[in-house]
Every structure is written in C-alpha cells, then in structure tokens.
Amino acid sequence: MLRIVTLVENTTSSSEYDCKHGLSFYVETPGHRMLFDVGPNELFLENARKKGIDLAAVDTVILSHGHYDHGGGLEAFFAVNQTAKVYIRQTAFEPHFSRVGDPPKYIGLDKGLMDNAQFIFTGDELVIDDELHLFSAVEPDPVPSQSNGALMMEKDGQMMQDDFVHEQNLILSVAGEKILMAGCSHAGIDRIQKKAAAIIGRAPDRVIGGFHLYNPSAQKTEPDEVVDETARALLPTGSLYYTCHCTGPKAFDRLKIHLGDRLSYMATGSELLIGAEGIDTRCGLKCEGCEYVQSCGCGGCIATMGKPFHGDCPVAQCCQNKGFTHCGQCPDLPCDLLTQYSCDSEHGDNPAGARIERCRKWAGK
C-alpha cells in the first residue's frame, strides 16, 4: 500500500490544517516512512501531528531542489529526527534568488545546515532500493518560461539564470505502480515525465507535484498557450496527474479542461491511498464490477480526490477534508450524509446500509 499525505501546500482542504506557500508530502510505503520536501518552515510538523503522523519514525527525506519553500523546514526536521537519511543535490546549497524586486530576494537554503551528517548528496541518478529511484539532469527548455525567468543563481560572484541542476525527482515503485514525484518541475513536467518514462520503459501510472505554471512573487500565471501546450504534452501518456503548489489555480482550471478526471488537486490535509486491500472508495462502495468504471472511465473517488465520473462527491470530499482514508475512521459514523446516500431508494445500497457496514468492517468495528 502507498499512502501520500499533503502536509504543506499553498491551499488547504480544511480549516483544521494551516497552509502556506510551499510543499511537503508524507509518503508511507511497505518499506519506508518518508518526506518528500519539508515546506518553508515548521508548519509540516504541526500538520503531521494533527494527522497522527510520527515524524521521528521517518527514515528517508527527499529534497526536490534548493528553494526555501521546499527545504526551509530542514532545521525543524533535524530537531525531531536525528536518524533519517536526507537525499539532496550538492548544488542545492548554492545561492538561489528571485529577481522580482530590487535587490533580488534570497530564496535558497540555510547554508549553516550543509555539514549535517544526515545529508546524502546525490548525483544524476541513484537507485536507493527497489522502491525509490532518484534522477535529475533533465535538460530544461532553452527558452525560460515566464515563471522560471525570474529565478537566478549566483556562481563565482556573478548572478545568472538558474540552470536547475539542483533539482531532482523520484520514481516510486509501490503497489504494482510506477509513480513520479516532482517538486516544482522547473525543467518542465513534460520533460521530466519523458525522462522518467525512459528509465521505467513506459509512462508512469501517476504523476504528483507542482508544474510551475505560476510565479507567486509576481502573481502571474503562464500564458494560456503555454498551459495548453503543457496539457497537450501530458494528455497522450495515460498517466493520472495530482498537482498543487506552483501550478496555480488558474493554470489548474485550464489544464482540467484538457485532462478532465485525470487531473486532481492535492491541498494541505488531502490524502492519496493506492493499493489498499479492498479499500477503493471513501464511503464503503466497491468499484470492482461497477459499470461506470468502464463505460465512463471512472477512476473512483480516492484516485480522483473526491471527483468521480459524476462530479464532486460530498461524502468523499467530507471524508478526505477530515483527513480520513474512509468513512469508517470517522467518529460520526454513520452520519446523516452517509446514511442518506446509503439508503436512497433509487441509487442507494442493496441491501440498504451495506456500505456503512463495510466501513465498519474496514475500521475493525
């Protein structure tokens, strides 16, 4: 089973979880408890606590690149965990700046942390084990996008365009799937996905991360034609996409026009569960054998983050906004909303209440 929890993102799925510009995912696999990025500060610790996640038990941290909104929480992490291996590019500690404003703003990592013994500095490719495969050296577009154009680095005392050599990506091999995780996709999500496909031998089943189609400092989204071009590049792959952070809300809405149910948003507090034995919905229904899986291409409410073939599902969204995998984990089971859906005379269960009992079984009640 693979569990991915959004600990920090620009937006939130519920008022219970604070949000901030940045990104941090908690990832639980059969072999690892890990973090993919740690956000801009200690906020990931607080949201992990609310989720019941023990970050002292984390064994692996992947830092996607050397910007503060992904690595600013490192010092806070080291205060609670002195054993995890932290995989990071050596160049991630080079000075990085945003030139929006005068003088340019420093957006890099704290160099005072560089000598921490938990760091493992990575090359262009590293196979950690059967589950985790890091790669970088993705050739970026020679013409910087509007969003990347504002990002600079300092070398030999000179300011120059960031080359994003400090960026790395992760391929997860879990639950029979290949899943690509990216931080900001500065090299271009289409280029990163192509390199992942070359490593895997096919397109990844799922792609998770920011697509960098929005400049937060200037509050500008990439032009429509750039977003449309990105969508056209992603469309033929067959992958499912879960985006967030630097994609931006306007670009997300435009991508959604092209990608439909294959595109979902992962706000702070949201969870993605893949390969859980028998658990394929939030409410207790079974996707197996459902006519809409084939006829409508429905991916189910967990895979689509609460937006199956018929649109927004209030039961699924209520469940995931509370941070639960399924309704059986909720202390209000069975609530009025779930009972209404389960016992509806036209579209309800046969027998009535079957999904409620299944939720109880999943929860061991």
Token representation of residue 344: 């509806």
Please tell me the predicted confidence (pLDDT) of residue 338.
Answer: 87
Please name the residue that has the structure tokens 């089973």.
1
d(CA 9, CA 324): 18
Q: Determine the pLDDT at residue 248.
A: 96
pLDDT band at 181 (very low <50, low <70, confident <90, very high): very high
Q: Note the pLDDT tens digit of each residue in 281-337.
A: 888 887 766 777 667 767 678 767 788 877 888 998 888 877 777 898 888 998 999
The two structure tokens encoding residue 304: 């689509």
Residue bearing tokens 């990025």 = 37
CA angle in degrees (0–180, nearest 5) for 98-103-108? 35
- Mean pLDDT for 27-54 is 97
The sheet with strand 206-210 has its strands ordered as 125-127, 132-135, 169-174, 177-181, 206-210, 240-244, 263-265
| pTM value > 0.85 | no
| Average pLDDT over all residues of the chain | 91
Regarding the domain delimited by 2-274, which CATH topology (the fold level of the hierarchy) does it fall under? Metallo-beta-lactamase; Chain A (3.60.15)
Q: What is the pLDDT of residue 276?
A: 64
pLDDT at 70 (0 to 100): 98
Residue 328 confidence (pLDDT): 87
Residues 6+ apart with CB under 8 A from 202: 178
Tokens at 268, concatenated: 């702070």
pLDDT for residue 293: 66
Residue 357 predicted with pLDDT over 80: yes
% of the chain at pLDDT higher than 90: 65
Model pLDDT, residue 343: 86
Give me the residue spans of the domains in the chain: 2-274, 291-362
